[in-house]
Amino acid sequence: MTQLNPRQREAVHYIDGPLLVLAGAGSGKTSVITRKIAYLVETCGIRARHIAAVTFTNKAAREMRERVGKLLGGSASEGLTVSTFHQLGLTIIRHERKSLGLKSGFSIFDAQDSQALIRDLLVQEHGAEGDKAPLIQQRISQWKNDGVMPEQAIAAGGSPADLLCAQAYRRYNRALRAYNALDFDDLILLPTQLFERSPEILERWQNRLHYLLVDEYQDTNASQYRLVRQLTGLRAGLTVVGDDDQSIYAWRGARPENLAELQVDFPGLKVIKLEQNYRSTARILKAANTLIANNSHVFEKSLWSELGHGEPLRAIRCADEQAEVDQVVAEILDHQLRKRTRLGDYAVLYRGNHQARLLELALQQQQVPYHMSGGTSFFARNEVKDIMAYLRLLQNENDDNAFLRIANVPRRKLGTATLESLGAVANTRHCSLIQAIGRAAEGEVPEAGLDRLREFRHWLEDRRRAAEGGAGIGAIRQLVRDIGYADWLEHISSSEDVAERRMANVDFLIDSLQRVMQEEQVALDEAISRLVLRDLLEQQEEEDAKDDRVQLMTLHAAKGLEFPHVYIIGMEENLLPHRVSIEDGQLEEERRLAYVGITRAQQTLTMSFAAKRRQFGDVLDCEPSRFIDELPADDLEWQGRADDSGDANEARGQETLAGLKSLFG
């Protein structure tokens, strides 16, 4: 889209105060943000280094940065900040490290690291409570997102379970500080706390950022909103873009009500609605508008399109879940044959990943290539996490989680008794495990084990000195050779091919580290930190598949994407909307999720449901989703229901025959 429509143009040019751009699905919001950045620089005379654009994913930030670069060109975009919220938070923390009481080389814990630490703390203090770690981690994350500190959580009281979570939160935070580490949520929480207690530091950052643009504002949590409010200050140079109808991340702490709170915190807020959709047919948009009208709204909007009326939406009733996936696969192959389309034009969306199992088998049986989003992250692979743990220890010797991961990788004959004894010394001396090796008195740690630990520590110090002395990537490659990691992979892998693939991942990791150092002109320790943060963010997103394959993904993963032909399977009560969400009073969030699914479709939309579905060994009767009933009946074509006429099916059959005749002459 090269030309802006009147509403988009108004949003780009408005700089007289804070602005909310209420941007419906497919309405060109990225164009508005990038054009506005260019307008601020070229017309308003604001230097790029005084502008920050913030979004939620690396992918969105990269796209935005590239588009702004093309618009501005040359040196005009130098110093511009285009980043995720967490990257911005990390930038602030690095600049204000001393004020936050952090030492250089601090670590960033990912979700697995955090959960492992919580589990260890629970086992140490409560015996068999380690299995509660995932639940407690989630609760701690919620507290941090809401700006609630451990003392506040403890003071709030509640049930014994609440108190256990709050006490674990306090102990967990103390451990993080002892390890000179942060978790993902701290990257937003710590800057907001610092700004609250240090007005002079806040003023310095407000003077640095004259204009702030925020994408996907409906996905902000309480801490992120607080950070936006703080950075904006009295200057009120703020544009936020969002859509309350696409807020589907409540489980991550997202608060769509943040859009409404803007009117309270910024009384002069101007609201501009982008309602013209450049993605979907009128029928698809009518269905989406009709569905979402059942939710309560602070801001009303109605999407429209100039792309034509389009084909009717289809609802298919299938006998069971196997018949459902067979039907969908057959339909995709049939449609591709008739229309001569790409397999990559088709997406199958579902509420939960478990729904994809039968679908995968059906596609495999028909030899249909597919790509399923949500596979194992590169950084989640064991071999990559192993080497990353070594790198983290080079950066921060107090990273106990990293040490525990690789203490016996490869095997160093360090038994459980040795490591437990070392842990006791660390607790007694209030130091890290690495430091405890040097502080252990005679008899506190088994002698043979202590000798091995000291040898490991000396070797690690040598590697650290080599890395700091300018050896850089060479030191990392030597480290991998020193530990005999390739031989270790051969020993533990199921085959030579598997071992080779895993070692190739290690080589790719080191090459990536080198590329970060070269492209971003940073030292090794900084490159390691950036790579860790990048992984934390990319664990939450999935890059588009480049080749021609049917796309399989959850409705959550589909947000921000579009496909010519969309199938939504499992449109049943207790699946969509999900039973837990119904019980928890989250029906509106589920309706927004269905809305997101519908608005991914450009040309055709097909929804299917099963009359019976097997769950936990039982065959259950299923009811079609209430969301199908909420769609406009005159735009809906039924198949498989007792009252459908069959005329549409016959027409499709004739169309298929005609396609075959034309194909084979």
Beta-sheet pairing, 270-274 with 238-242: unpaired
Question: Among the residues of 96-132, which ranges form H helices?
Answer: 111-126
Q: What are the backbone dihedrals phi and psi of residue 306, each rounded to the nearest 5 degrees, phi first? A: -105, 20
Encoded tokens for 225: 């909103």
Angle 154-157-158 from CA coordinates, rounded to 5°: 135
Yes or no: say if 68 and 37 are a contact pair by the CB < 8 Å rule.
yes
SS3 letters across 562-627: CEEEEEECCCECEECCEHHHHHCCCHHHHHHHHHHHHCCEEEEEEEEEEEEEEECCEEEECCECHH
| Residues 548, 356: Cα–Cα separation, whole Å | 19
For residue 30, indicate whether it is catalytic.
Answer: yes
Considering the candidates 34, 137, 206, 246, report the single residue annotated as catalytic: 246
Within 13 Å, how many C-alpha atoms sit on residue 242's CB side?
29
| Of the candidates 604, 607, 27, 563, the residue with the CA atom closest to the CA atom of residue 310 | 604
For residue 376, indicate whether it is catalytic.
Answer: no
For residue 246, indicate whether it is catalytic.
Answer: yes
Q: Is 396 helix (H, G, I), strand (E, B) or coil?
A: coil
Which helix H or strand E contains 370, and what residues bound it? Answer: strand 370-372
Beta-sheet pairing, 601-615 with 618-621: antiparallel
| Of the candidates 234, 178, 175, 215, the residue with the CA atom closest to the CA atom of residue 88 | 215
| Residues 257, 44: Cα–Cα separation, whole Å | 31
> In whole angstroms, how large is the CA radius of gyration of the chain?
27
For residue 124, indicate whether it is catalytic.
Answer: no
| Residues 510, 525: Cα–Cα separation, whole Å | 13
Encoded tokens for 537: 């963010």
Considering the candidates 144, 351, 600, 626, report the single residue annotated as catalytic: 600
| Residues 87, 526: Cα–Cα separation, whole Å | 13
Yes or no: say if 601 and 561 are a contact pair by the CB < 8 Å rule.
no
Considering the candidates 30, 55, 327, 551, report the single residue annotated as catalytic: 30
Yes or no: say if 513 and 527 are a contact pair by the CB < 8 Å rule.
yes
| Residues 393, 399: Cα–Cα separation, whole Å | 6
Encoded tokens for 143: 């507290």
Residue 608's DSSP bridge partners are 316
Encoded tokens for 503: 């070692």
Considering the candidates 183, 185, 186, 216, report the single residue annotated as catalytic: 216
Q: Is 214 helix (H, G, I), strand (E, B) or coil?
A: strand
| Residues 109, 532: Cα–Cα separation, whole Å | 8
Encoded tokens for 607: 């929804």
Q: Which residues are catalytic?
A: 29-30, 215-216, 246, 600
